Amino acid sequence: MAVVKANGYGHGILEIARALDGNVAYFGVSSLAEALKLRESKFESPVFILSRILKDELPLALTEGITLTVSSVEEAKEISEQSQALKRRSPIHIKVDTGMGRLGIPFSDAVKAIEAIAALPALELEGIYTHFPTAEREDGFIERQVRDFGLIVQALDHKGIRFKYRHGANSAGCVKVHSPIFNMVRPGLMLYGIYPDPSLESDIALSGILSLKTKIISVKHAKAGQTVGYGRDFVASTPTTIGLVPLGYSQGYPFKASNRASVLLDGKRFPLAGRVSMDYLAVDFGNHSVQIGDTVTLIGEDGDDSIRVEELASWADTIPYEVVTRLATHLPRYHG
Protein backbone atom coordinates (compact mmCIF):
# COMPACT_ATOMS: atom_id res chain seq x y z
CA MET A 1 0.00 0.00 0.00
CA ALA A 2 1.58 3.22 -1.16
CA VAL A 3 0.62 5.92 1.34
CA VAL A 4 0.00 9.09 -0.68
CA LYS A 5 -1.94 11.14 1.87
CA ALA A 6 -1.09 14.79 2.59
CA ASN A 7 -0.73 15.50 -1.13
CA GLY A 8 1.69 12.62 -1.57
CA TYR A 9 3.69 13.85 1.44
CA GLY A 10 3.99 17.19 -0.32
CA HIS A 11 5.22 15.71 -3.59
CA GLY A 12 1.88 15.87 -5.46
CA ILE A 13 -0.72 13.16 -4.92
CA LEU A 14 -1.77 12.76 -8.56
CA GLU A 15 1.76 12.76 -9.90
CA ILE A 16 2.94 10.18 -7.37
CA ALA A 17 -0.12 8.02 -7.97
CA ARG A 18 0.43 8.21 -11.72
CA ALA A 19 4.00 6.94 -11.28
CA LEU A 20 2.91 4.01 -9.07
CA ASP A 21 -0.47 3.08 -10.54
CA GLY A 22 -0.87 -0.60 -11.22
CA ASN A 23 2.25 -1.51 -9.23
CA VAL A 24 0.74 -1.36 -5.74
CA ALA A 25 -2.09 -3.20 -4.01
CA TYR A 26 -3.60 0.05 -2.74
CA PHE A 27 -3.21 3.78 -2.49
CA GLY A 28 -3.57 4.88 1.14
CA VAL A 29 -5.15 8.27 1.91
CA SER A 30 -6.54 9.96 5.02
CA SER A 31 -9.75 11.57 3.80
CA LEU A 32 -12.66 11.15 1.43
CA ALA A 33 -11.54 14.27 -0.47
CA GLU A 34 -8.16 12.67 -1.22
CA ALA A 35 -9.83 9.40 -2.21
CA LEU A 36 -12.20 11.14 -4.61
CA LYS A 37 -9.32 13.03 -6.18
CA LEU A 38 -7.70 9.72 -7.06
CA ARG A 39 -10.99 8.20 -8.17
CA GLU A 40 -11.65 11.11 -10.55
CA SER A 41 -8.33 10.39 -12.25
CA LYS A 42 -9.43 6.78 -12.84
CA PHE A 43 -6.30 5.08 -11.56
CA GLU A 44 -6.16 1.30 -11.73
CA SER A 45 -5.01 0.73 -8.13
CA PRO A 46 -7.83 0.78 -5.54
CA VAL A 47 -8.04 3.42 -2.81
CA PHE A 48 -8.09 2.87 0.95
CA ILE A 49 -8.98 5.51 3.57
CA LEU A 50 -6.80 5.06 6.64
CA SER A 51 -9.02 7.21 8.86
CA ARG A 52 -12.67 7.08 9.84
CA ILE A 53 -15.12 9.04 7.73
CA LEU A 54 -18.42 10.46 8.93
CA LYS A 55 -21.77 8.74 8.39
CA ASP A 56 -23.04 11.29 5.87
CA GLU A 57 -19.95 10.65 3.72
CA LEU A 58 -20.56 6.92 3.49
CA PRO A 59 -22.94 6.79 0.50
CA LEU A 60 -20.51 8.61 -1.78
CA ALA A 61 -17.50 6.63 -0.56
CA LEU A 62 -19.28 3.31 -1.07
CA THR A 63 -20.68 4.30 -4.45
CA GLU A 64 -17.16 5.15 -5.58
CA GLY A 65 -15.90 1.76 -4.43
CA ILE A 66 -13.49 3.14 -1.85
CA THR A 67 -12.28 0.68 0.79
CA LEU A 68 -12.89 1.85 4.35
CA THR A 69 -11.31 1.44 7.76
CA VAL A 70 -13.44 0.02 10.57
CA SER A 71 -12.48 0.62 14.21
CA SER A 72 -15.68 -0.47 15.95
CA VAL A 73 -18.78 -2.63 15.57
CA GLU A 74 -20.83 0.56 15.36
CA GLU A 75 -18.88 1.79 12.34
CA ALA A 76 -19.25 -1.59 10.67
CA LYS A 77 -23.03 -1.50 11.22
CA GLU A 78 -23.24 1.92 9.58
CA ILE A 79 -21.30 0.71 6.55
CA SER A 80 -23.37 -2.48 6.40
CA GLU A 81 -26.65 -0.56 6.46
CA GLN A 82 -25.53 1.88 3.79
CA SER A 83 -24.19 -0.96 1.64
CA GLN A 84 -27.50 -2.81 1.83
CA ALA A 85 -29.34 0.36 0.85
CA LEU A 86 -27.06 0.71 -2.16
CA LYS A 87 -27.39 -3.01 -2.94
CA ARG A 88 -23.66 -3.57 -2.94
CA ARG A 89 -21.02 -5.48 -1.03
CA SER A 90 -18.32 -3.27 0.47
CA PRO A 91 -14.75 -4.24 1.32
CA ILE A 92 -13.44 -3.11 4.71
CA HIS A 93 -10.18 -3.38 6.66
CA ILE A 94 -10.57 -3.78 10.39
CA LYS A 95 -8.08 -1.85 12.51
CA VAL A 96 -6.89 -3.31 15.82
CA ASP A 97 -5.25 -1.10 18.43
CA THR A 98 -2.24 -3.03 19.72
CA GLY A 99 -0.59 -0.01 21.33
CA MET A 100 -0.88 3.09 19.15
CA GLY A 101 -3.76 4.39 21.26
CA ARG A 102 -5.65 6.13 18.48
CA LEU A 103 -8.12 4.44 16.13
CA GLY A 104 -8.75 0.72 16.28
CA ILE A 105 -10.61 -1.93 18.24
CA PRO A 106 -8.77 -2.50 21.55
CA PHE A 107 -6.75 -5.72 21.55
CA SER A 108 -8.72 -7.18 24.46
CA ASP A 109 -12.04 -6.76 22.62
CA ALA A 110 -10.87 -7.51 19.09
CA VAL A 111 -11.83 -11.17 18.55
CA LYS A 112 -15.37 -10.79 19.92
CA ALA A 113 -15.94 -7.52 18.04
CA ILE A 114 -14.64 -8.91 14.74
CA GLU A 115 -16.90 -11.96 15.11
CA ALA A 116 -19.84 -9.56 15.38
CA ILE A 117 -18.65 -7.60 12.34
CA ALA A 118 -18.24 -10.81 10.32
CA ALA A 119 -21.91 -11.61 10.95
CA LEU A 120 -23.11 -8.35 9.37
CA PRO A 121 -24.46 -8.46 5.81
CA ALA A 122 -23.04 -6.72 2.73
CA LEU A 123 -19.49 -6.51 4.09
CA GLU A 124 -16.33 -8.12 2.76
CA LEU A 125 -13.72 -8.48 5.49
CA GLU A 126 -10.81 -7.96 3.12
CA GLY A 127 -8.15 -6.78 5.56
CA ILE A 128 -7.05 -6.55 9.17
CA TYR A 129 -4.33 -4.21 10.36
CA THR A 130 -2.60 -2.38 13.16
CA HIS A 131 -0.08 0.45 13.51
CA PHE A 132 3.34 0.72 15.15
CA PRO A 133 4.13 3.89 17.17
CA THR A 134 7.80 3.05 17.80
CA ALA A 135 8.92 0.78 14.98
CA GLU A 136 12.36 2.39 14.87
CA ARG A 137 13.13 1.54 18.51
CA GLU A 138 14.45 -1.69 19.91
CA ASP A 139 12.66 -1.69 23.23
CA GLY A 140 10.52 -4.80 22.86
CA PHE A 141 7.24 -2.92 22.36
CA ILE A 142 6.84 -3.69 18.66
CA GLU A 143 7.56 -7.36 19.32
CA ARG A 144 4.67 -7.37 21.77
CA GLN A 145 2.43 -5.73 19.17
CA VAL A 146 3.35 -8.32 16.55
CA ARG A 147 2.68 -11.11 19.05
CA ASP A 148 -0.72 -9.71 20.03
CA PHE A 149 -1.72 -9.13 16.43
CA GLY A 150 -0.71 -12.69 15.59
CA LEU A 151 -2.82 -14.05 18.42
CA ILE A 152 -5.86 -12.24 17.07
CA VAL A 153 -5.29 -13.43 13.51
CA GLN A 154 -4.81 -17.00 14.73
CA ALA A 155 -7.93 -16.94 16.91
CA LEU A 156 -10.02 -15.59 14.04
CA ASP A 157 -8.57 -18.15 11.64
CA HIS A 158 -9.77 -20.94 13.96
CA LYS A 159 -13.24 -19.43 13.71
CA GLY A 160 -13.10 -19.40 9.91
CA ILE A 161 -12.59 -15.65 9.65
CA ARG A 162 -9.68 -14.97 7.31
CA PHE A 163 -8.35 -11.90 5.55
CA LYS A 164 -6.74 -11.31 2.17
CA TYR A 165 -4.52 -8.55 3.58
CA ARG A 166 -2.81 -8.37 6.98
CA HIS A 167 -0.71 -5.26 7.48
CA GLY A 168 1.00 -3.20 10.15
CA ALA A 169 4.32 -1.89 8.86
CA ASN A 170 4.75 1.83 8.31
CA SER A 171 8.08 3.03 6.86
CA ALA A 172 10.16 2.06 9.89
CA GLY A 173 8.20 -1.17 10.23
CA CYS A 174 9.04 -2.09 6.62
CA VAL A 175 12.68 -2.19 7.68
CA LYS A 176 12.39 -3.56 11.22
CA VAL A 177 9.48 -6.02 11.18
CA HIS A 178 9.87 -9.42 9.55
CA SER A 179 6.95 -11.71 10.26
CA PRO A 180 4.87 -14.08 8.09
CA ILE A 181 1.78 -12.73 9.86
CA PHE A 182 1.88 -9.73 7.54
CA ASN A 183 1.56 -9.81 3.75
CA MET A 184 1.34 -6.10 2.94
CA VAL A 185 3.36 -3.04 4.02
CA ARG A 186 2.40 0.65 4.13
CA PRO A 187 5.47 2.79 3.36
CA GLY A 188 4.86 6.50 3.74
CA LEU A 189 7.81 8.87 4.13
CA MET A 190 10.30 6.18 3.08
CA LEU A 191 8.46 5.82 -0.23
CA TYR A 192 9.79 9.27 -1.11
CA GLY A 193 13.39 8.48 -0.16
CA ILE A 194 13.32 10.21 3.23
CA TYR A 195 14.34 8.63 6.53
CA PRO A 196 11.57 8.70 9.17
CA ASP A 197 14.27 8.32 11.83
CA PRO A 198 18.08 8.72 11.70
CA SER A 199 18.52 5.27 13.24
CA LEU A 200 17.37 3.68 9.97
CA GLU A 201 20.26 5.07 7.94
CA SER A 202 22.37 2.01 8.76
CA ASP A 203 19.57 -0.35 7.67
CA ILE A 204 18.64 0.94 4.25
CA ALA A 205 19.98 3.36 1.62
CA LEU A 206 17.45 5.97 0.52
CA SER A 207 17.70 8.71 -2.11
CA GLY A 208 15.26 11.61 -1.83
CA ILE A 209 13.17 12.17 -4.94
CA LEU A 210 12.29 15.81 -4.22
CA SER A 211 14.22 18.92 -5.14
CA LEU A 212 13.10 22.41 -4.14
CA LYS A 213 14.55 25.12 -6.33
CA THR A 214 13.96 28.81 -6.96
CA LYS A 215 15.67 31.71 -8.71
CA ILE A 216 17.38 34.87 -7.51
CA ILE A 217 15.19 37.92 -8.16
CA SER A 218 17.35 40.63 -6.59
CA VAL A 219 21.05 41.19 -5.85
CA LYS A 220 22.38 43.79 -3.41
CA HIS A 221 25.84 44.60 -2.13
CA ALA A 222 25.77 45.22 1.60
CA LYS A 223 28.46 47.18 3.43
CA ALA A 224 29.91 46.08 6.74
CA GLY A 225 27.43 46.93 9.49
CA GLN A 226 24.35 46.88 7.25
CA THR A 227 21.42 44.71 8.36
CA VAL A 228 19.00 42.52 6.45
CA GLY A 229 15.42 41.47 7.21
CA TYR A 230 12.96 41.62 10.09
CA GLY A 231 14.44 42.17 13.51
CA ARG A 232 17.71 43.19 11.88
CA ASP A 233 18.99 39.75 12.91
CA PHE A 234 21.63 39.68 10.20
CA VAL A 235 24.45 42.19 10.37
CA ALA A 236 27.11 42.07 7.64
CA SER A 237 30.52 41.71 9.27
CA THR A 238 32.29 42.52 6.00
CA PRO A 239 31.11 43.77 2.59
CA THR A 240 29.00 40.98 1.10
CA THR A 241 26.53 40.10 -1.65
CA ILE A 242 22.92 39.49 -0.64
CA GLY A 243 20.66 37.57 -3.01
CA LEU A 244 16.89 37.50 -2.59
CA VAL A 245 14.77 34.51 -3.65
CA PRO A 246 10.94 34.49 -3.78
CA LEU A 247 10.17 31.70 -1.33
CA GLY A 248 9.31 31.86 2.37
CA TYR A 249 7.11 30.40 5.06
CA SER A 250 3.91 30.98 3.06
CA GLN A 251 5.31 28.46 0.57
CA GLY A 252 6.16 26.06 3.37
CA TYR A 253 9.81 26.85 4.07
CA PRO A 254 10.18 26.59 7.86
CA PHE A 255 10.51 29.87 9.73
CA LYS A 256 12.58 28.21 12.45
CA ALA A 257 15.33 27.64 9.91
CA SER A 258 16.02 31.40 10.09
CA ASN A 259 19.72 32.20 10.48
CA ARG A 260 20.51 28.47 10.48
CA ALA A 261 19.80 27.03 7.04
CA SER A 262 21.95 27.06 3.95
CA VAL A 263 21.21 26.86 0.22
CA LEU A 264 23.23 25.65 -2.75
CA LEU A 265 24.47 27.59 -5.76
CA ASP A 266 27.11 26.33 -8.18
CA GLY A 267 27.69 23.35 -5.91
CA LYS A 268 28.57 25.53 -2.91
CA ARG A 269 26.74 26.26 0.34
CA PHE A 270 25.66 29.72 1.37
CA PRO A 271 23.86 30.66 4.62
CA LEU A 272 20.57 32.48 4.99
CA ALA A 273 20.94 36.12 5.90
CA GLY A 274 18.46 36.75 8.70
CA ARG A 275 14.91 35.59 9.20
CA VAL A 276 12.72 33.65 6.81
CA SER A 277 10.04 36.06 5.57
CA MET A 278 6.57 35.20 4.37
CA ASP A 279 7.58 35.23 0.72
CA TYR A 280 11.35 35.74 0.67
CA LEU A 281 14.68 34.32 1.74
CA ALA A 282 17.79 36.47 1.83
CA VAL A 283 21.06 34.63 1.24
CA ASP A 284 24.58 35.73 2.12
CA PHE A 285 26.67 34.91 -0.97
CA GLY A 286 29.83 36.60 0.30
CA ASN A 287 32.08 37.45 -2.63
CA HIS A 288 30.62 34.74 -4.89
CA SER A 289 29.49 36.00 -8.29
CA VAL A 290 25.69 35.86 -8.55
CA GLN A 291 23.11 37.41 -10.82
CA ILE A 292 19.35 37.65 -11.20
CA GLY A 293 17.95 34.45 -12.63
CA ASP A 294 20.53 32.10 -11.08
CA THR A 295 18.94 28.89 -9.76
CA VAL A 296 19.23 28.27 -6.02
CA THR A 297 18.65 24.80 -4.51
CA LEU A 298 16.95 24.62 -1.12
CA ILE A 299 16.46 20.84 -1.14
CA GLY A 300 18.25 18.48 -3.47
CA GLU A 301 21.54 18.16 -5.32
CA ASP A 302 23.76 20.80 -6.87
CA GLY A 303 27.16 19.71 -8.09
CA ASP A 304 28.83 17.41 -5.58
CA ASP A 305 26.77 18.62 -2.63
CA SER A 306 23.17 18.12 -1.59
CA ILE A 307 20.71 19.28 1.07
CA ARG A 308 18.39 16.53 2.23
CA VAL A 309 14.95 17.07 3.72
CA GLU A 310 16.27 15.60 6.96
CA GLU A 311 18.97 18.29 7.15
CA LEU A 312 16.49 21.11 6.63
CA ALA A 313 14.30 19.54 9.32
CA SER A 314 17.22 19.56 11.75
CA TRP A 315 17.85 23.26 11.08
CA ALA A 316 14.19 23.93 11.85
CA ASP A 317 14.06 21.71 14.96
CA THR A 318 11.27 19.62 13.43
CA ILE A 319 10.71 16.31 11.68
CA PRO A 320 11.08 15.58 7.94
CA TYR A 321 7.36 14.78 7.72
CA GLU A 322 6.49 18.36 8.60
CA VAL A 323 8.92 19.86 6.09
CA VAL A 324 7.51 18.08 3.05
CA THR A 325 3.83 18.03 3.99
CA ARG A 326 3.87 21.80 4.56
CA LEU A 327 5.11 22.58 1.06
CA ALA A 328 2.37 24.77 -0.38
CA THR A 329 0.05 23.17 -2.92
CA HIS A 330 0.40 26.25 -5.15
CA LEU A 331 4.12 25.63 -5.68
CA PRO A 332 4.67 24.39 -9.26
CA ARG A 333 5.64 20.71 -9.29
CA TYR A 334 7.57 19.20 -12.16
CA HIS A 335 7.84 15.43 -12.39
CA GLY A 336 10.44 13.60 -14.44
Q: Which residues are part of the catalytic machinery?
A: 5, 230
**Contact at 8 Å (CB) between 269 and 305?**
yes
In angstroms, the CA 8 to CA 210 distance is 11
| Integer Rg of the chain from CA | 24
Contacts of 100 (CB under 8 A, 6+ apart): 130, 131, 132, 133
In angstroms, the CA 240 to CA 139 distance is 51
DSSP letter at 290 equals: -
Return phi, psi of residue 161, to 5°: -105, 110
3-class secondary structure per residue, 12-45: CHHHHHHHHCCCCCCEEECCHHHHHHHHHCCCCC
- In our burial notation (b when 16+ CB lie closer than 10 A, e otherwise), range 197-226 reads beebeeeeebebebebbbebeeeeebeeee
**Contact at 8 Å (CB) between 282 and 229?**
yes
Q: Which of 4, 104, 12, 89 is nearest to 51 (CA)?
A: 104
